[in-house]
């Protein structure tokens, strides 16, 4: 017989005796239900929005994470050929357009095509690119850290001119790599880097270059190769360039950064996907008025960790030759430039 029927049979007095138990049961059930509802709401509650302590700077390209937010990584800003002689008259405004991107990197590097020297010309070529030594200071002030010297113009003013170039760079607080197989080592954010610079525009000992890369790789460094190569004004990499790149990648180079053709050439990964090859970053600063694509260029922001290249991004720009400076490209030029970095 149910509790309700018992109450009817025994009368109102019995109901009064049972009511405290019934009330206790109802109250306990209500409390349990309320607790379930409250704890369920807490599990689904949306946490408060907290502002990041390290917001991404507006000057860093969209989708690119500043290295300060990533443990054990380093960002390189890489440029092609910088020429400071002949009709180039650099100033504090020369690289101003790129300054936000250069300052977002941990190290800025370019190929210096101009010996910085007062030494007399030592070449019979009509193309002499020697430039005043005081221009080293402008490079330092623009944010450069390292210049590569392995190219076909480093001896335009002879051995004396090359040695003076190295001296004035050092005096301006700048490092250099090349010519020669000796690596320039840097350690940044816990990542050990080895920079090697080669000139493959003439006779080139690929076997010796491979050995130098292998030796640097054996020190547990991320090996970055700067190489001056390729046919001038050709927008595609030659079979020889691809062969050299494959051999250097096999030896342990994880980033190959090219220049020399005076125009952009495509970027691609090695067959195993471990090595990024930038076949040519073109001119970064030059006085060439002829072909339009000699004035179209890109800055490569490459992020590395101890295992190699994580990602990279290209920043297009053009060269304003009359004013010896780099500039923002128009939409058509930017599109032309970016097709090399698909």
Q: What is the mean pLDDT of each run of 10 residues along the chain (342 residues)?
A: 36 38 40 36 28 30 40 93 98 98 98 98 96 98 98 98 98 97 96 98 97 98 98 97 98 98 97 96 96 97 97 98 98 98 90
Rounded CA gap, 282 and 239, in Å? 18
For residues 191 and 253, membership in a common domain is answered with: yes
Does one domain contain both 210 and 337? yes
Is it true that the peptide bond before 179 is cis, omega within 30 degrees of 0? yes
The residues with which 182 forms a beta bridge, in sequence order, are none
What lies within 8 Å, CB to CB, of 199 at 6+ separation is 150, 151, 152, 154, 178, 179, 227, 228, 229
User: Please, where are the H alpha helices in the chain?
Assistant: 3-10, 12-44, 99-104, 135-142, 158-171, 206-217, 239-251, 331-338
C-alpha count within 13 angstroms, C-beta hemisphere, residue 194: 20
Look at the chain and count its residues. 342
Domain around 265:
70-341
Q: What are phi and psi of 66, to 5 degrees?
A: -60, 145
**How far, in Å, CA of 170 to CA of 137, rounded?**
10
Residues 218 and 286 in one domain: yes
CA pair distance 116, 133, nearest whole angstrom = 4
Same-domain check for residues 36 and 172? no
Q: Is the residue at 57 inside a domain? A: no
Closest alpha carbon to 153 in 118, 113, 183:
113
| pLDDT computed for residue 342 by the predictor | 84
CATH number (domain holding residue 137): 3.60.21.10
In a domain, 187, yes or no: yes
Q: How many CB atoms lie within 10 A of CB 100?
A: 14
In whole angstroms, give the CA distance from residue 114 to residue 131.
Answer: 6
Q: Are residues 110 and 248 in the same domain?
A: yes
Same domain, 10 and 75: no
- What's the pLDDT at 71? 56
Q: Is residue 334 part of a domain?
A: yes
Nearest C-alpha neighbor of 243 from the set 211, 277, 273: 277
Domain identity same for 86 and 216: yes
Whether residues 121 and 198 fall in one domain: yes
Number of domains in the chain: 2
Distances (CA, A) of 341 to 93, 158, 181, 182, 195: 27, 37, 29, 30, 23
- Residue 244 inside a domain? The answer is yes
Confirm whether 61 is domain-assigned. Answer: no
Same domain for 115 and 22: no
């Amino acid at each position: 017989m149910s509790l309700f029927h018992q109450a009817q049979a025994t009368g109102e007095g019995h109901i009064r005796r049972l009511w405290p138990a019934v009330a206790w049961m109802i109250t306990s059930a209500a409390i349990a239900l309320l607790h379930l509802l409250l704890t369920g709401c807490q599990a689904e509650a949306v946490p408060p929005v907290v502002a990041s302590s390290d917001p991404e700077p507006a000057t860093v390209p969209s989708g690119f994470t500043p290295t300060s937010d990533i443990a054990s990584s380093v960002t390189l800003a890489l440029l092609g050929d910088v020429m400071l002689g002949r009709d180039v008259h650099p100033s504090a405004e020369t690289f101003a357009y790129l300054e936000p991107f250069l300052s977002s990197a941990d190290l800025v590097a370019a190929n210096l095509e101009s010996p910085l020297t007062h030494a007399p010309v030592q070449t019979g070529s009509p193309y002499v690119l020697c430039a005043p030594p005081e221009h080293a200071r402008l490079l330092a002030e623009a944010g450069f850290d390292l210049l590569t010297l392995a190219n076909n113009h480093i001896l335009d003013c002879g051995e004396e001119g090359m040695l003076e170039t190295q001296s004035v760079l050092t005096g301006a607080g700048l490092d250099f790599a090349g010519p020669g197989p000796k690596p320039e080592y840097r350690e940044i954010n816990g990542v050990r880097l080895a920079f090697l610079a080669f000139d493959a525009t003439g006779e080139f000992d690929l076997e010796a270059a491979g050995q130098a890369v292998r030796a640097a790789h054996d020190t547990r460094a991320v090996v970055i190769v700067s190489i001056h190569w390729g046919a001038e004004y050709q927008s595609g990499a030659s079979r020889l360039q691809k062969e050299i790149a494959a051999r250097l990648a096999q030896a342990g180079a994880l980033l190959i950064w090219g220049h020399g053709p005076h125009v952009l050439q495509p970027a691609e990964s090695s067959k195993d996907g471990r090595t990024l090859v930038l076949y040519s970053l073109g001119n970064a600063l030059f006085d060439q008025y002829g072909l339009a694509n000699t004035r179209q260029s890109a800055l490569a922001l490459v992020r590395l960790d101890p295992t190699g290249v994580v990602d990279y991004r290209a920043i297009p720009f053009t060269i304003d030759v009359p004013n010896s400076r780099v500039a923002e490209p128009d939409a058509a030029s930017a599109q032309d430039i970016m097709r090399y970095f698909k």
